[in-house]
Structure 1
Amino acid sequence: MTNIDLLSKIDRALISIDPNSITASANIGSIHRQLIWCRAQLTGQPSGLKRGPLTMGLIATREFDMWGDNPELAGLINEIQRAFE
């Protein structure tokens, strides 16, 4: 997967989640922060230190697939995480 493809996937995922929505949980905020960090890594923007391993795939599976109604978004976020591992 090229960086352009990966950036496109990250942007699609970011558009699909809203950490500021009234129903957003801390888990959604964590996914958002991790996606922003990944995007910054690809674009050379300041990203700060990585606070630990990426966990957005597991969180997305729980939030959007097991308990939610958006398995496609969970799959997309898992794909992005795998690209960074």
Structure 2
Amino acid sequence: MEDKIMLLRKIQSAIQQIQPLSSKGWPPGQSILRQLAWCEGFVSGCPSDTAPGPLSMGLIAIRELDMYGDKPDLALLISYIQDAVNALH
């Protein structure tokens, strides 16, 4: 399993990349950002809430950022984070 510090760095990188999209009011970006924020808390050992339900940010990212967008690398990063957090959960 990947080191938690490296996973946190990947989560923080994804948050930085999705934040501008979310702040423009784009609903998929807002959903992804909420899930990433929860993942950051969970991996760091300080979850803000109970799990928001099954993580769906990977599917949203692939659909919105890869298939219909121009950010396939970000979509892959978000999908990776979801898989890594699910493995820890």
Q: State if a TM-score over 0.5 links the two structures.
A: yes
- Paired with 1:64 and 1:44, the residues of 2 have a C-alpha distance of 29
- Paired with 1:7 and 1:50, the residues of 2 have a C-alpha distance of 17
TM-score, normalised with respect to structure 1: 0.91
**Cα RMSD, aligned residues only:** 1.0
- Whether 1:75 and 2:81 are equivalent positions in the alignment is no
TM-score, normalised with respect to structure 2: 0.87
Q: Which runs of 4+ in 1 moved over 3 A?
A: none
What's the % identity of the aligned pairs?
Answer: 47
- Whether 1:20 and 2:46 are equivalent positions in the alignment is no
Number of aligned positions between the proteins: 83
In structure 1, runs of 5+ residues without a counterpart are none
Q: Deviations over 1:18-77 (max 9, x none)?
A: 2112xx421111100000000001112242121210000000001110000010000000
- Paired with 1:52 and 1:26, the residues of 2 have a C-alpha distance of 18
Equivalent in the alignment of 1:62: 63
- Paired with 2:71 and 2:52, the residues of 1 have a C-alpha distance of 27
